[in-house]
């Protein structure tokens, strides 16, 4: 098992990968640098290999698929994940590693948003999207993660081996953040100096399609991790609509003794019934979610035992 493993997912980063590998070898000389190539066509893998990295391959396209492969194949006491585009400073890696190895953090977030991100990043919709995602997740999951979508993170062995990778693309960082918040993982924030991509290096992130995927992922994970809140809101909305439209019908019946709008009455009854179904569905799923959390804690015990065995 490696003491420290630096994991770099790459897709066509030939202009920057050599510098990234060299910088991290200098910052963490005891670390093993892994570059996971994701079908690059510009020779990224050969450049990384010549720079001294261990090159592995993931042929299923998408950052989430690459991270799944990384977490399955590599065993280490501490993992540092960064991008191959030279936007994250290797000099911050030592502080992040110390948080994992000495402070027992499960995930360390390289916080771009508290430093230079909004000045360096020239894409205004990315800035706006990052702020919206951060506010949404911190509000919905009652956490204080400073940068939800950063690709610069450090992890403990326990986090990596218990994190179920479901996303295939760039929404993977959002999934990591929500998983850590829901499972009461110890998260620390380390402020880093972000720099924009060098000239000639192009981002693989599509502002609109990937942004929509991230928002959809937040909604999906909120439903999964907070079912009572999710279905409770739906139940409340349906109940308000059903009762609101039924009140005039009941007032009319009280005055005349007749129900002239039977269709409205019938629809209202079905809407209120749907609200009751939604409420009890949320209640049942909340019980299942609580049981899953208990099972997860037991799984952590198993992974901790496995970790100690690998150290020996």
Residue 299 clears pLDDT 90, i.e. is over it:
no
194 near 115, Cβ under 8 Å? yes
Residue 309 clears pLDDT 70, i.e. is over it:
yes
For 22-45, how does the pLDDT look when each residue is reduced to its tens digit (9 = 90+)? 999 999 999 999 999 999 999 999
Residues 130-144, mean pLDDT to the nearest whole number: 86
pLDDT at 199: 65
End-to-end CA distance of the chain: 10
* Residue among 50, 3, 67, 49 nearest 29 (CA): 3
Token pair in block for residue 176 = 């990591």
- Residues 308, 312: Cα–Cα separation, whole Å: 6
24: Cβ contacts below 8 Å, ≥ 6 apart: 6, 8, 31, 33, 80, 82, 90, 93
For 50-100, how does the pLDDT look when each residue is reduced to its tens digit (9 = 90+)? 999 999 999 999 999 999 999 999 999 999 999 999 999 999 999 999 999
| CA 132, 137, 139, 143 torsion-angle sign | negative
pLDDT at 202: 62
For 206-260, how does the pLDDT look when each residue is reduced to its tens digit (9 = 90+)? 656 767 877 888 888 899 889 999 999 999 999 999 999 999 999 888 888 888 8
Topology of the domain covering 2-224: Spore Coat Polysaccharide Biosynthesis Protein SpsA; Chain A (3.90.550)
User: Using 50, 70 and 90 to split pLDDT, how confident is the model at 123?
Assistant: low
H or E element, residue 81: strand 76-81
Share of the chain above pLDDT 70, in %: 92
- Residues 132, 109: Cα–Cα separation, whole Å: 17
- Residues 232, 6: Cα–Cα separation, whole Å: 42
Q: How many other C-beta atoms lie within 10 A of the C-beta of residue 256? A: 9
* Residue among 300, 52, 309 nearest 179 (CA): 300
Q: What is the mean pLDDT of the chain?
A: 89
Token pair in block for residue 214 = 């991230």
Residues 278-282, mean pLDDT to the nearest whole number: 96
Q: What residue spans define the domains of the chain?
A: 2-224, 227-311
pLDDT at 210: 62
pLDDT at 208: 63
DSSP 149: T
Beta bridge partners of 188: 108
Residues 150-167, mean pLDDT to the nearest whole number: 94
Q: What's this model's pTM, rounded to 2 decimal places?
A: 0.82
86-118 burial by CB neighbour count: b if 16+ within 10 A, else e?
A: bbbbbebbeebbbbbeeeebbbbbbbbbeeebb
- Residues 143, 222: Cα–Cα separation, whole Å: 13
* Residue among 14, 15, 57 nearest 39 (CA): 57
251: Cβ contacts below 8 Å, ≥ 6 apart: none
Residue 308 clears pLDDT 90, i.e. is over it:
no
pLDDT at 120: 67
Token pair in block for residue 271 = 């809407």
Residue 126 clears pLDDT 80, i.e. is over it:
no
Strand ranges, E, within 112-186 = 153-156
**3-class secondary structure, 78:** strand
* Residue among 5, 4, 9 nearest 151 (CA): 9
**3-class secondary structure, 246:** helix
- Residues 232, 238: Cα–Cα separation, whole Å: 10
pLDDT at 17: 95
- Residues 75, 73: Cα–Cα separation, whole Å: 7
């Amino acid at each position: 098992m490696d003491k420290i493993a630096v994991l770099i997912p790459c897709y066509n980063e030939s202009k920057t990968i050599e510098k990234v590998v060299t910088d991290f070898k200098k910052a963490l000389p005891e670390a093993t640098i892994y570059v996971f190539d994701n079908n690059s066509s510009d020779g990224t893998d050969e450049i990384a290999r010549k720079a001294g990295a261990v090159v592995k391959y993931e042929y299923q396209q998408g950052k989430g698929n690459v991270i799944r492969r990384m977490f399955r194949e590599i065993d280490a006491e501490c993992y540092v994940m960064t991008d191959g585009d030279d936007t994250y400073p290797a000099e911050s890696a030592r502080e992040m590693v110390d948080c994992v190895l000495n402070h027992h953090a499960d995930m360390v977030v390289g916080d771009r948003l508290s430093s230079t991100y909004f000045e360096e990043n020239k894409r205004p919709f990315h800035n706006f999207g990052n702020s919206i995602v951060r506010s949404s997740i911190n509000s919905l999951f009652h956490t204080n993660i400073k940068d939800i979508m950063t690709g610069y993170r450090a992890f403990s062995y326990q986090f990596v081996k218990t994190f179920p990778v479901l996303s295939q693309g760039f929404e993977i960082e959002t999934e990591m953040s929500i998983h850590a918040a829901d499972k009461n993982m110890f998260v620390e924030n380390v402020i880093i100096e972000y720099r924009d991509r060098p000239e000639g290096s192009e981002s693989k992130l599509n502002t609109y399609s990937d942004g929509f995927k991230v928002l959809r992922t937040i909604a999906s994970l909120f439903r999964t991790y907070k079912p009572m809140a999710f279905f409770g809101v739906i139940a409340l909305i349906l109940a308000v609509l059903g009762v609101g439209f039924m009140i005039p019908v009941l007032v009319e019946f009280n005055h005349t003794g007749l129900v002239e709008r039977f269709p409205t009455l019938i629809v209202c009854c079905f809407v209120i019934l749907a609200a009751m179904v939604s409420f009890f569905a949320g209640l049942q799923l909340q019980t299942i979610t609580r049981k899953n959390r208990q099972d997860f804690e037991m799984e952590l015990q198993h992974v901790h035992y496995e970790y100690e065995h690998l150290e020996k």
